[in-house]
């Protein structure tokens, strides 16, 4: 996960700027990264606002609440539990980030023990920052998770409480069975068969992630860093996986007069406007359409089980080899992304996505239906307003998942047919089922 604050030499400056500098166009990231004594109009402290909302302390409506906090201000969220550190038993580390670590844990309550995951901010990170910054990051993520909990978002990770671990702030969430990234790398699947997942289930997981983004959009919130490592997988009914969004520390409120401006998305999944935020003075505005691009990249990787820049290298080798900067960039494409230096990775994507206008591509041999292929191509438009909505992407993914599942199932007997004839699905072009394809346009509306 990449944060501009890590590259900001003034991030640790404790000085308080003039109140008149505050602007409604500042993102929640801008405000929450400020120290608690940072003031906004009418002397309402940003940290105090969020702290009151978290603890269900009444906030005077007459106070000036910034627009990016409006959703949190209007929603009366359930009371959170402060879990004593003594009630947590941490074991293995499940994940590592630039500013936090996630641990497997058992949470001991009066009603019994509950498996959980504990995200600890600032503990054993490569670049330690002031504790206040980590506390504000926890508050930011808590505020979003509480709003999702109140709205009963089924595809956003469930918040269980908050605590401290060795003096560092921590949040406690439900424990997942796996991370989507584990199912999207072919070499990992070949080494560990337990990570095998059918195409239908992979598409369902991405569709669940899109539905989670839709649930956040309903709250005027955008995730800010949608990628396979932030999509958790649970075992659902009938053994089918269910996916939920996690790691919402980059999430912000989006309004017509307030857009994101900082580069928060993992670079490989960043929309063009999100990439430009790193290179433009003062950032670059981005909003909900950036989530469509990011989730479409996840969908492309779920289908191909390959990084999309690797797909470009495989399907357009002459374009890349004829590139004037091939000596620098082509070797980077063939390297594992986590081994490419961060600045080189940004430059690589800036060169191909911004300057060369490249888009993620899907090889023809993957043989997905034309409906999903057209939707994905629209998702990769460099003009945000030309991209489809999250709802359109969701419907296309669900429909393709049902087609893939039907084609993978063995033929079943049709009780209505004479003599119990075996009903063989009539396949059309691209091996699609004609019966199912007629139902694609009638896919049920996703629940808000």
Write the DSSP assignment of 194-218 as a string of letters. Answer: GG---HHHHHHHHHHHHHHHHHHHH
Q: Scan for tokens 């199932």, then name that residue.
A: 409
Give 159's strand partners: 173
| Token representation of residue 370 | 């034309």
State how far the Cα of 227 lies from the Cα of 138, in Å rounded to an integer. 20
Q: Measured in whole angstroms, how far is the alpha carbon of residue 342 from the centre of its chain?
A: 19
Q: What percent of the chain has pLDDT over 70?
A: 60
pLDDT tens profile 105-162: 999 888 888 999 999 999 888 788 888 888 888 888 888 898 898 889 999 999 998 8
pLDDT by residue (tens digit) across 43-62? 334 445 555 554 555 555 54
pTM above 0.85, yes or no: no
Residue closest to 297 by CA, chosen among 265, 263, 326, 323: 265
Tokens representing residue 229 in the block: 């490592």
The residues near 338 (Cβ < 8 Å, ≥ 6 apart) are none
**pLDDT attached to residue 207:** 96
Which pLDDT value is given to residue 242? Answer: 94
Ranges of H-type helices in 282-389: 288-304, 308-315, 317-321, 326-333, 342-349, 370-379
Q: Which fold has domain 178-398?
A: Transferase(Phosphotransferase); domain 1 (1.10.510)
Write out the two tokens for 136.
Answer: 């504000």
Q: Note the pLDDT tens digit of each residue in 351-403.
A: 778 877 877 777 676 778 899 999 999 999 999 999 999 999 999 999 999 99
pLDDT of amino acid 233: 94
373 is in an annotated binding site: no
- Which residues, 6+ apart, have CB-to-CB distance to 289 below 8 Å? 271, 273, 384, 385, 387
Q: Is 88 within 8 Å of 120 (Cβ atoms)?
A: no
Q: How far is CA 189 from the centre of its chain?
A: 22
Q: What is the DSSP string of 85-136?
A: GGGEEEEEEEEE-SSEEEEEEEEEETTEEEEEEEEEESTT-SS---HHHHHH
pLDDT at 23: 32
**What's the confidence (pLDDT) of residue 327?**
59
Token reading at 219: 């709250």
Write the pLDDT tens digit of every residue in 179-210. 998 888 766 666 667 678 889 999 999 999 99
Q: What pLDDT, on the 0 to 100 scale, is given for residue 59?
A: 53
Phi, psi of 212 (to 5 degrees): -60, -40
The token pair that represents 420 in the structure block? 């119990």
Kindly report the average pLDDT of the chain as a whole number. 72
Indicate the angle between helix axes 370-379 and 288-304, nearest 10 degrees: 130
Backbone phi, then psi, for 241, in 5-degree steps?
-75, 150
Domain ranges within the chain, ordered by starting residue: 4-74, 178-398
């Amino acid at each position: 996960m990449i944060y501009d604050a890590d590259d900001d030499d003034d991030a640790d400056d404790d000085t308080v700027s003039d109140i008149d500098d505050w602007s409604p166009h500042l993102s929640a990231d801008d405000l929450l990264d400020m120290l608690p004594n940072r003031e906004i109009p009418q002397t309402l402290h940003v940290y105090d606002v969020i702290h009151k909302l978290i603890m269900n302390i009444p906030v005077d409506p007459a106070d000036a609440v910034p627009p990016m906090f409006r959703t949190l201000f209007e929603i009366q969220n359930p009371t959170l539990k402060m879990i004593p550190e003594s009630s947590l038993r941490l074991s293995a580390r499940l994940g590592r980030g630039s500013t936090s670590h996630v641990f497997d844990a058992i949470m001991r309550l009066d009603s019994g023990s509950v498996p959980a995951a504990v995200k600890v901010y600032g503990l054993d990170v490569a670049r330690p920052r002031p504790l206040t910054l980590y506390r504000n990051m926890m508050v930011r993520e808590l505020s979003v998770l509480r709003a999702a909990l109140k709205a009963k978002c089924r595809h956003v990770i469930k918040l269980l409480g908050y605590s401290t671990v060795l003096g560092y702030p921590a949040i406690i969430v439900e424990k997942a069975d796996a991370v989507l990234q584990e199912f999207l790398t072919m070499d990992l699947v070949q080494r560990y068969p337990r990570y095998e997942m059918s195409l239908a289930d992979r598409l369902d997981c991405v569709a669940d992630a899109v539905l989670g983004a839709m649930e956040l959009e309903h709250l005027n919130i955008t995730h800010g860093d949608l990628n396979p490592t932030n999509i958790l997988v649970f075992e659902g009914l009938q053994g089918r996986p269910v996916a939920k969004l996690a790691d919402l520390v980059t999430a912000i409120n989006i309004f017509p007069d307030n857009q994101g401006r900082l580069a928060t998305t993992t670079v490989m999944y960043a929309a063009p406007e999100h990439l430009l935020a790193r290179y433009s003075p003062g950032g670059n505005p981005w909003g909900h359409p950036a989530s469509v691009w990011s989730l479409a990249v996840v969908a492309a990787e779920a289908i191909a089980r390959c990084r999309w820049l690797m797909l470009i290298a495989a399907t357009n080798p002459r374009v890349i080899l004829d590139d004037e900067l091939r000596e620098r960039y082509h070797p980077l494409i063939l390297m594992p992304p986590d081994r490419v230096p961060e600045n080189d990775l940004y430059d690589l994507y800036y060169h191909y996505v911004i300057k060369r206008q490249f888009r993620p591509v899907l090889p023809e041999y993957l043989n997905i239906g034309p409906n999903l292929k057209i939707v994905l191509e629209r998702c990769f438009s460099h003009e945000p307003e030309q991209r489809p909505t999250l709802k359109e992407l969701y419907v296309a993914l669900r429909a393709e998942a049902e087609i893939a599942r039907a084609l993978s199932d063995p033929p079943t007997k049709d009780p209505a047919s004479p003599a119990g004839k075996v009903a063989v699905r009539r396949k059309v072009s691209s091996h699609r089922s004609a019966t199912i394809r007629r139902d694609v346009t009638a896919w049920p509306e996703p629940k808000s």
